[in-house]
Amino acid sequence: MKNLFQPYDVSLESEMLEPLDFNRRSRLKETDRCFKAEILNVIRLTDMEKLFQVRILDESEGERFSFLPGQFVMVEVPGYGEIPISISSSTSRTGYVELCIRRAGIVTGALHRAKRGAHIGIRGPFGTHFPIETMKGYDVLLIAGGLGLAPLRSSIFAVIENRADFENVHILYGTKSPDQLLFDYQYEEWGRIDDIDLQVIVEEPDNEWTGPVGLITKLLDGIEIDPQRTFAIVCGPPVMFKFVCSRLSEQGMPMRRMFISLERRMHCGMGKCCRCNIGSTFTCMEGPVFDYWTVMNLKEAI
């Protein structure tokens, strides 16, 4: 019987021996092997959020790693846990990725304590992306509320780095108060790019605030939208994207041309653990980026 029951060693399968690449979804791979990455820089954005510049240590792994705007990675702090985080940097930036992380609990807390030079793990990229290519030739509305700027930022880069490919571009951003604004040092730069309309609004201004005050939808009042010629990406909490999207829909924009990113609890990123399941949809596989029509049709989505 001995030769009948030879141990089968999955790690010797030819697909397992190929370089690890999460973009090749159907291939057998070491699903829980992470790329070891070094925190190159930590940039404090607000009291709650920090931006981490992270480089995959192994050069060939780093070169193979490619993502599209809206996708996320699973960030692992060994011994603490693993969490989903959107990639916040430009797809054209090679060498490192940027992750904008709010301190919310155990893993994010550990990250906030981590210093430059620390080693973390990342797996991915996972999930769907914003359809930047399809948006070419159209007017573009990029709208974020609060931490929603983190998942939107990669798309902002994709649009401004290829400005000529798009018609009118509006970037609208709103938070509760001025001290919660993320990436404030970049508005200047984005706003100066010829023909990009950047507007920022807060709900509760402080003494120094000179900009507009109110909800994000107020910024839409001042914008001329050609519903048939426009795409929108809306990132933020559910109440916010619901308001914005139904408003745009009233103005005649097809729901298929509005895109949002959903947040769910995620423990794998690979359509296995079911934690991100909405009715029958895996947010990690069929999302996190969805068009608004699809979201409207998801049972228990919002």
Ligand X SMILES: Cc1cc2nc3c(=O)[nH]c(=O)nc-3n(C[C@H](O)[C@H](O)[C@H](O)COP(=O)(O)OP(=O)(O)OC[C@H]3O[C@@H](n4cnc5c(N)ncnc54)[C@H](O)[C@@H]3O)c2cc1C
Binding site for ligand FES (CB under 6 A): 266-269, 271-276, 282-284
Quote the tokens at residue 284.
């990690």
C-beta closer to ligand FES: residue 119 or 272 = 272
Alpha-carbon gap, residue 247 to 242, rounded angstroms: 8
User: Quick one: tokens of 182?
Assistant: 């993320």
Residue from 107, 196, 235, 245 binding ligand X (CB under 6 A): 107
Residue of this chain nearest to ligand X (CB atom): 105
Residue 213 CA to residue 191 CA, distance in Å, equals 19
**Which element (helix H / strand E) includes 171?**
strand 169-175
Angstrom distance (rounded) from CA 61 to CA 63? 5
42 contact, one of ligand FES, ligand X, another protein, none, CB 5-8 Å limit per kind: none
Per CB under 8 A, contacts with another protein among 17-36 are 25-26, 28-34, 36
Residue 204, SS3 per DSSP? coil
Interface positions, 260-299, toward ligand X (CB under 6 A):
263-267, 288
d(CA 223, CA 142): 13
State phi, psi for 245 to the nearest 5 degrees: -70, -40
Where on the chain is the footprint of ligand X (CB under 6 A)? Answer: 72, 81, 83-86, 100-102, 104-109, 147, 150-151, 263-267, 288
Where on the chain is the footprint of another protein (CB under 8 A)? Answer: 1-2, 4-11, 16, 25-26, 28-34, 36, 76, 78-82, 102, 104-105, 108, 117-119, 121, 263-265, 267-268, 270-275, 277-281, 285, 299-300
